[in-house]
Each structure stands twice: as structure tokens, then as C-alpha cells.
Amino acid sequence: MSQILLGVSASASIHKSCDLASKLSQAGHEVRAVLTENAAKLVAPQLFEALTGQPATTSEWGSGREGGMDHITLARWAELLVVAPATASTLARLASGAADDLLSTVALVLAPSTPRLLAPAMNPTMYAHPAVQRNLARCLEDGWQLVEPATGRLACEEEGPGRLPEVPELVARISELLG
């Protein structure tokens, strides 16, 4: 099976990322999670470790480091990078080439031939904002693949596009990319 790096941004849909990590692991994939600092305020990396049996991290600094250059080690390890949920903030970092956290740094070091998948999740007004759409378009130009957000009622009690797709849809798209 494949080695999947799961990037996790801070979103109310983070519970689906936990389920996604679990389902991918149950299917025989090795899954490592890289959480943004804000994502780790919602769900501890240890939960991802429990669900996958693999290390999960938020930073190259402090305890829990695997080596001197974790961003390079993770990028070389990954056969696929999936960012689910991808928030507006994460999309902006990825689109601009900023390397100010472990997730965005890994994305920059990743070999261009490694498939990369974005699954945006955010408020519908935010998702429709021109800056977010520009950033998303830039990511697509840079070779990222996209799972369109689902439409429906969101945690913010608004309706529209912005929901993280259901886990079976994400698993199916990941399977397509892994071919």
C-alpha cells in the first residue's frame, strides 16, 4: 500500500480528517499526519497517532522531532500529500510558497511528481471570496488536484459550498490519484 501524508488545518470539519486517517489506515496505507498549530488546538496529534499507528506532528521544533530536517524526511517519505481540511489560511500559504509551518514547508520540498490533493473546507462566503479563489487557482496551476467542497449546512449554520466532502468521497479520490 501507499505512504500518505495527511495535512490537517484548523476547521470544524477536522473530525472528518480523523475518520479519513482511520479509514486509510484500515485499508492498509501508512498515514502520517501533519497538523497546523491551530489544528492541534482542536485535536491533539496523539489522536492521529492512535488512529494510524504512525507519528503525527505539528512542528520541526521542540520535542517529538524525528530528525534534524523533518520537512525533508516527510517529503521524501510521502507518496501522496492530502490536505483535508484545507482552510483559507493554508491555501494562502500554499499558493504563495510561504514556508512558515511544517505543512507548507513539506509541500515546498515535495517532489513535483508527487500527487497533491486539496480538500477545502470553510464558510461559503469565505470560499467564494476572490482572494481564496485566486489562491485556489494558483494551487491548481502549481499542480495540486482538487476535491470540490460539498454543499450543505456548515458548522457556522450557513448553507452553501464549503463542507469537507464525506470520507468515502475523499477515499475514492485518493484511490484514483494512487492509481
Residues labelled catalytic: 156
CA 151 – CA 163 distance, rounded (Å): 6
> DSSP secondary-structure letter at 130?
H
Query: What phi, psi does 92 have (nearest 5°)?
Result: -65, -45
The answer to whether 4 and 36 have CB atoms below 8 angstroms apart is: no
Q: How many helices (H) and strands (E) does the chain have?
A: 9, 8
What is the residue whose three cell numbers read 530528525?
Answer: 67
